[in-house]
Amino acid sequence: MVAHQKAVGIVGCGAIAQVLLRAGENRDLPFRFSGVCSRTEAKARTFLKTLAHVPPPLLDLPALIACSDLIVETAGAHVVPVLARLAFEAGKDLMVISVGALLEHPEVIEHARRTGCRLIVPSGAIAGLDGIKGACMGRVDFVRLTSRKPPRALEGAPYLTARGLSVLGLAEERELFRGSAREACKGFPDNLNVSAAISLAGIGPDLTEVRIIAAPGLERNCHDIEVEGEFGRLAVHIENIPSQNPRTGRLTALSILRSIIDASSTVRIGT
């Protein structure tokens, strides 16, 4: 007997969604793409036509939810509250990429718990969430994240705009922010989903410490995670090559793909 192949719908058709859809052409996956929903329909149709195989249909949101088992959000934090409500009310699971939205809208997490639907947060651009989750079963003294990014990846962030700051033309490294993960996600919503994921896996958004540094000449998005507690010490260093979008590393899309595979498979390695 062949097991049911999970139907996966994608909301958004930007750089991350396009990597996921192209992956369906290049490998045998334990799920199928049921459709795509995008507010920029013309651009989405243009991309879908470039796929070698028969592309998934472009659908409106209610139709996408109806024909999918798992909805994957790649469209930005602004869609998460409404998307979560519609998905969970329809009894569907949801994978959220814009993790910072969960700090602004904790009711999404509670809604998932009430309905019994799964709310999945992939590791994205970082590693070590499994270690942080395990460590936080005991006493943890601190969780710290230091992110170094090229200035072009940080330019235009609300934190900088509100202060009339530009980081283009910097001659040397500059620390732009030091504070909590909650504050980091508000100030740099397109850059610090990693801090939201770390905080949710660990000691929470108000206790997780974050530093953001603009580094001229840097070609990669770099993250250093430090955790110390009764278990010992954990240190993780990641250097991500940016994708088409300089704010997003290539590892993000690969992590999302792996998370969809895990959600669709009967065998899963790691936590």
Which of 197, 175, 176, 193 has its CA nearest to residue 185? 193
| Active-site residue (options: 105, 111, 223, 237) | 223
User: Whole-angstrom Cα distance, residue 149 to residue 170?
Assistant: 12
Contacts of 29 (CB under 8 A, 6+ apart): 23, 260, 261, 264
User: Whole-angstrom Cα distance, residue 211 to residue 225?
Assistant: 11
113 exposure class (CB count in 10 Å sphere: 0-12, 13-18, 19+):
exposed
Joined tokens for residue 82: 């409404």
Residues 39/79, Cβ–Cβ less than 8 Å = no
User: Whole-angstrom Cα distance, residue 158 to residue 148?
Assistant: 17
Coil, strand or helix at 146:
strand
| Cα dihedral 55, 61, 66, 68 sign | positive
223 is catalytic: yes
User: Whole-angstrom Cα distance, residue 10 to residue 29?
Assistant: 15
Coil, strand or helix at 194:
helix
Residue ranges of alpha helices (H) inside 27-178 are 41-48, 61-66, 80-89, 100-104, 107-115, 129-135, 151-154, 158-162
Coil, strand or helix at 35:
strand
What positions carry a catalytic annotation? Answer: 223
